[in-house]
């Protein structure tokens, strides 16, 4: 066993605390990990007046990894640009830790083929990885509202594109599909130019193709198994990864890792805080469990334990247990018990 790792846990809002409790049970079972809770998102706004308190950020910077559930909820919804928003906590911590590379693997488990809205023969064999640029683009450009006109600037530098392109080429097993809107957007034309250059200079042996984002959205449901690595900018990646989630049957299944900085990585399910089912004990903990697996693999160097968690999840699904999002009636606790028993 490696020395004990110190992670910070950010339960956040909605179903966040419930699935973080599930994660802690799993982590306790695996051993070798100490955790400390901190506030982020809506709960941080309530307790500290800001979605990303300094104490949370400082604790994150000195940790070995950050595990986050989800932020946001109707309580903090507002269209007033001056009100604090829960999402500022998430965007802030990504930016402050320089986590420019967001990895979202989409690999439906055979036991869930029937749970996807797509036909089984379409999704069979799908094993793709969305690599989303996470700290640039329209999310972080200047935002303005003046005299009834609002704007959000989408800008990318060559350096930002080069570094995310390298992550994509290094992750590819078969090919990289770079997704942009180069027929309309200047930032996309630079994106395509830089990806093409990095490919020619450093990774010419890996097949590369380019797709416009509207076409990519269509191909993702028409022929998802054709993709290997999808490399794309921040907002396109946000949208395409929710779409891709449905290949697995539910967004309650999709984990993610955000990496790139010199410090810790951040690991979180792709789904949100699901305020409609918060507190009901119905949340699917599996995206969180698979995020713990990504943390073990990418953040803590414990590949064997990552694989153990993933196969425990697979075997529980193969055994037929399903939460409501997958059409079943199992509660969170039942699924947690089953996964821990299968470890």
Active site residues: 139, 181, 214, 238, 242
Q: Which is nearer to ligand IPM, 12 or 285 (CB)?
A: 12
Q: Which is nearer to ligand IPM, 52 or 90 (CB)?
A: 90
* Nearest residue to ligand IPM, scored by beta-carbon proximity: 87
Q: Which is nearer to Mg ion, 259 or 321 (CB)?
A: 259
Q: Distance between CA atoms of 61 and 266, rounded to whole angstroms?
A: 11
Q: How far is the CB of 140 from ligand IPM (least distance, A)?
A: 11
The CA-CA-CA angle for residues 102, 108, 111, to 5°, reads 150
| Binding residue (CB under 6 A) for ligand IPM from 238, 305, 310, 325 | 238
Q: Which is nearer to Mg ion, 251 or 293 (CB)?
A: 251
Give the x-and-dash track for 145-164 against ligand IPM (CB under 6 A): --------------------
Q: Which is nearer to ligand IPM, 108 or 269 (CB)?
A: 269
Q: Distance between CA atoms of 233 and 179, rounded to whole angstroms?
A: 8
**Spatial CA neighbour of 267 closest among 102, 68, 98:** 68
Q: Which residue's entry shows tokens 């064999």?
A: 125
If binding is defined by CB under 6 A, does position 29 make contact with ligand IPM?
no
Q: Distance between CA atoms of 272 and 257, rounded to whole angstroms?
A: 15
87: partner contacted, choices ligand IPM, Mg ion, none (Cβ within 5-8 A by kind)? ligand IPM
**Spatial CA neighbour of 234 closest among 77, 41, 90:** 90
Give the x-and-dash track for 161-180 against ligand IPM (CB under 6 A): --------------------
**Spatial CA neighbour of 178 closest among 151, 145, 156:** 156
Q: How far is the CB of 29 from ligand IPM (least distance, A)?
A: 27
Q: How far is the CB of 232 from ligand IPM (least distance, A)?
A: 13
Q: Please give the residue ranges that form the binding site for Mg ion (CB under 5 A).
A: 238
Q: How far is the CB of 90 from ligand IPM (least distance, A)?
A: 5
If binding is defined by CB under 6 A, does position 243 make contact with ligand IPM?
no
Q: How far is the CB of 93 from ligand IPM (least distance, A)?
A: 11
Give the x-and-dash track for 193-232 against ligand IPM (CB under 6 A): ----------------------------------------
Q: How far is the CB of 318 from Mg ion (least distance, A)?
A: 28
Give the x-and-dash track for 68-107 against ligand IPM (CB under 6 A): ----x--------------x--x-----------------
162: partner contacted, choices Mg ion, ligand IPM, none (Cβ within 5-8 A by kind)? none
269: partner contacted, choices Mg ion, ligand IPM, none (Cβ within 5-8 A by kind)? none
Q: Which residues bind ligand IPM (CB under 6 A)?
A: 72, 87, 90, 238, 270
């Amino acid at each position: 066993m490696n020395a004990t790792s110190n992670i910070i846990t950010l339960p956040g809002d909605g179903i966040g605390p419930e699935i973080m409790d599930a994660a802690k049970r799993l982590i306790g079972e695996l051993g070798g990990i100490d955790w400390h809770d901190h506030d982020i998102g809506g709960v941080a706004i309530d307790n500290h007046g800001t979605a990303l308190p300094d104490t949370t950020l400082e604790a994150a910077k000195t940790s070995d990894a950050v595990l986050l559930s989800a932020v946001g909820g109707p309580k903090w919804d507002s269209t007033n640009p001056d009100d604090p928003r829960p999402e500022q906590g998430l965007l802030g911590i990504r930016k402050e830790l320089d986590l420019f590379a967001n990895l979202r693997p989409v690999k439906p488990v055979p036991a869930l083929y029937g749970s996807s809205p797509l036909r089984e023969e379409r999704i069979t064999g799908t094993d793709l990885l969305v690599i989303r640029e996470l700290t640039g683009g329209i999310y972080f450009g200047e935002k303005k509202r003046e005299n009834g006109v609002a704007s959000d600037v989408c800008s990318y530098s060559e350096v930002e594109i080069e570094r995310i392109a390298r992550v994509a080429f290094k992750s590819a097993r078969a090919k990289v599909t770079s997704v942009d809107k180069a027929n309309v957007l200047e930032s996309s034309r630079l994106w395509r130019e830089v990806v093409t250059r990095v490919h020619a200079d450093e990774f010419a042996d890996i097949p590369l193709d380019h797709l416009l984002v509207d076409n990519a959205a269509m191909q993702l449901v028409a022929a998802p198994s054709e993709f290997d690595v999808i490399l794309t900018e921040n907002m396109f990646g946000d949208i395409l990864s929710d779409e891709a989630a449905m290949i697995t049957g539910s967004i309650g299944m999709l984990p993610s890792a955000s990496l790139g900085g010199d410090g810790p990585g951040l690991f979180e399910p792709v789904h949100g805080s699901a305020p409609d089912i918060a507190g009901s004990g119905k949340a699917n903990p599996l995206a969180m469990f698979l995020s713990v697996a990504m943390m073990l693999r990418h953040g803590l160097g414990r590949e064997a334990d990552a694989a153990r968690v993933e196969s425990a999840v697979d075997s529980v699904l193969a055994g037929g247990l399903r939460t409501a999002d997958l059409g079943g009636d199992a509660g969170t606790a039942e699924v947690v018990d089953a996964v821990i028993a299968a470890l």
